[in-house]
Amino acid sequence: MKIKILFAAAFMLLMLNSADAGNFVSAHGQLRVEGTQLVDKAGEAIVLRGVSLGWSNFWPRFYCKEAVKWLHKDWKINVIRAAMGVDLDTMCYIAKPDYSKKLVEEVIDAAIEQGIYVIVDFHSHNIHTAEAVRFFDEISKKYAKFPNIIYEIFNEPDYETWEEVKAYSEAVIAAIRANDADNVILAGSPHWDQDIHLPAADPILGQRNLMYTVHYYANTHGAWLRKRTDEAISKGIPVFISESAAMEASGDGAMNYHEWQEWINWQEKNRLSWITWSISDKKETCSMLLPSASSKGKWKLSDLQESGIKTREYLRKMN
């Protein structure tokens, strides 16, 4: 009997260790920023590679644990971005805050269960300070203890000035830091996250574990934006590529494979984390799925659009 008990205990320990070995967050733990580099709990440089879900108000069907599990298991993502739609329609955060927050929390909980990182993205092109403060106060109170969490406080400012974006960011960062002193925060910059030179000249001061986002679409944005970002990094600005893809900035048009590969090579050379847009089923180039794709994952190649096939290929190879 004693031998059986010891064997059972040893087997259980082996299973727990095996499960932990496949848990990316358990392996890398609390992320932080050292200089311009994102590093893990051991201080080693880390590159997160994953995908963004589409706007939650337009594609809520993919905001479920089964889709997150499949993306982790089959696409090999180590980070997922939950793009909570803030405005634009009757199903957005401003119109239905509890509904929208529930969708995001389902993705967060699924990411924690899968042992991957999750970006909580306030997905808007406009300043909504009061709403953002309220949302991130609630999320950071609930999830501060989990090292999985990354806060993206402003998806893509469009026509706002850097002074306006900076003031907004400082207010939202203060709300998060009142509850969560450690998890990484991502701040945006004007002109759809292409004007990274503006925070480089006038950064947010007095904050740790803060990074700035750059977004690109390879058939619109080329070497000039990489050069601008290189210059910002040389001035001490930590950068995270929280949205990217191969087509035009509209999300449609042709895939520019050559320029996309240039971006991928540059990201890897600079040890920059990157997210590809998006898990949705709209009839446009940037949507990775076809309407035939189940909400629950288990997608066949025949369920994927061109961008999805290529993104999956990259992630399975590089992660």
Instruction: State the Cα angle at 237 between 232 and 240, rounded to 5°.
Output: 100
Q: Which residues are catalytic?
A: 156, 243
Cα separation, 73 vs 71, whole angstroms: 6
Phi-psi region of 156 (alpha: psi -120 to 50; beta: other; left: phi over 0): beta
Q: Which amino acid is it at 316?
A: R
Cα separation, 222 vs 156, whole angstroms: 18
Q: What is the chain's Cα-based Rg? A: 19
The pLDDT assigned to 20 comes to 47
Q: Which stretches of the chain score pLDDT less than 50?
A: 1-21
Domains contained in the chain, CATH given: 46-318 (3.20.20.80)
Cα separation, 138 vs 132, whole angstroms: 10
Listed residue (177, 131, 138) closest to 154, CA to CA: 131
Question: Dihedrals φ, ψ of 276, to 5°?
Answer: -105, 140
- SS3 for 209? coil
Q: Exposed, middle or buried by CB within 10 Å (0-12, 13-18, 19+), for 188? A: buried
User: Hey, what are 267's tokens?
Assistant: 């990201």
What's the whole-model pTM score?
0.93
pLDDT tens sequence across 33-61? 999 999 999 999 999 999 999 999 999 99
Question: Dihedrals φ, ψ of 118, to 5°?
Answer: -140, 130
Decide: 209 and 184 in contact? Cβ < 8 Å.
Answer: yes
Other C-beta atoms within 10 Å of 184: how many? Answer: 25
Instruction: Please count the helices (runs of H) and the strands (runs of E) in the chain.
Output: 11, 10
Helix axes 129-143, 97-114, angle to 10 degrees: 40
Q: Exposed, middle or buried by CB within 10 Å (0-12, 13-18, 19+), for 47? A: middle
pLDDT tens sequence across 141-176? 999 999 999 999 999 999 999 999 999 999 999 999
The pLDDT assigned to 4 comes to 45
The pLDDT assigned to 67 comes to 98
